[in-house]
Amino acid sequence: MKRRQFLGALGGAVAAWPLAASAQPRERVRRVGVLMATTSDEPDSQARIAALHQGLQAAGWTIGGNVRVDVRWSGGNIALLRKHAVDLVENGSDVIVAGVGPTGPALRAATRTVPVVFAQVVDPVGNGYVASLSRPGGNATGFTQFEYSLSGKWLELLRELVPRISRVGVFRDAEGGPAGIGQWAVIQAFASPLGIELSPLDLVQGSDPDRIVSAFAGAPNSGIIVAVASLATIHRKSIVRLAAQHQLPAIYPYRFFVEDGGLLAYGPNLLDGYRRAAGYVDRILKGEKPADLPVQAPTKYELSVNLKTAKTLGLTVPPAFLARADEVIE
């Protein structure tokens, strides 16, 4: 080839390089939907989303870069929750992360094909979300908060600290589906042999916790159990305040209730559940199927005690009880 022809061909190739580079397909942005039953202004709910982000980033994803996270909040409004579930499916989510409470039934009704990862589900087999814990078999998998048997532990711990208790009100989501029924059934099974009278304190959209607690309070030797319920989380500051106002010893499912002034809490570390959920989201985005990913349980349950609240209620917390606590607020 003559020198002039060679240089001309080389120049044409060099000129074509930028065009070839610009013609390379961009990496597809993956979409992760998140369905929350709580409100966006709750610090603890925001911390769960932050934990999910951290888990995705640790797996190599860039939030706002190669992955977009769309969060939908319902504030305990079941109709809005169901609408958001449908929106996340129709908007092209590659994976949807489900928060607590009625997010499960809403997503099950909205899709049987889009992958769903539960960050804090209760009894996924009993609720029909998966075929089994080891082989989910459908479009959903994830992480449990606890088995229903944990509900009995709340009553045991409350009675251990306050042996005189003979009457207990149980806060639960009246519209939260089978979870509320299951928790109630286990608490009732533990309460009956002890002669403890149970009263359901049902929460629905628009409930007034002041009215509910005022109607329950008054009889001696009473206490409160707050079961896992998105509406109880939304109203937690009011419930904690009312328990103190009416001198009612209370136990809660999460430690942030104790950090807000509640007496006792026993339950899983929710932030860990959302970080672990991010790991499943990563694996699904890379091609694995929810049907093949086993449902996993929490690795640890935490006992929290607020000594200041105990003192206000006239309670003495035994040293042996404190020694078992993971968090003690003084």
Residue 212 pLDDT > 90: yes
Is-contact 260 237, C-beta < 8 A?
yes
How does residue 204 score in pLDDT terms, banded at 50, 70 and 90?
confident
> Can you tell me the distance from the alpha carbon of 138 to that of 72, in angstroms, rounded to the nearest whole number?
23
Which of 19-28, 192-201, 206-215 comes out lowest in average pLDDT?
Answer: 19-28
CB atoms within 10 A of CB 87: 15
What's residue 96's pLDDT?
98
What's residue 233's pLDDT?
87
How does residue 94 score in pLDDT terms, banded at 50, 70 and 90?
very high
Q: Where in the chain is the domain with CATH 3.40.50.2300?
A: 30-146+269-300, 150-268+302-329
What's residue 119's pLDDT?
95
Longest dimension (CA), the chain: 106
> Can you tell me the distance from the alpha carbon of 116 to that of 108, in angstroms, rounded to the nearest whole number?
9
Which CATH number describes the domain made up of 150-268+302-329? 3.40.50.2300
How does residue 127 score in pLDDT terms, banded at 50, 70 and 90?
confident
CATH entry, 30-146+269-300, from 3.10.150.10, 3.50.30.10, 1.10.2020.10, 3.40.50.2300: 3.40.50.2300
Instruction: Tally the residues of the chain.
Output: 330
How does residue 182 score in pLDDT terms, banded at 50, 70 and 90?
confident
Out of 3-17, 55-69, 117-131, 217-231, the most confident range is 55-69
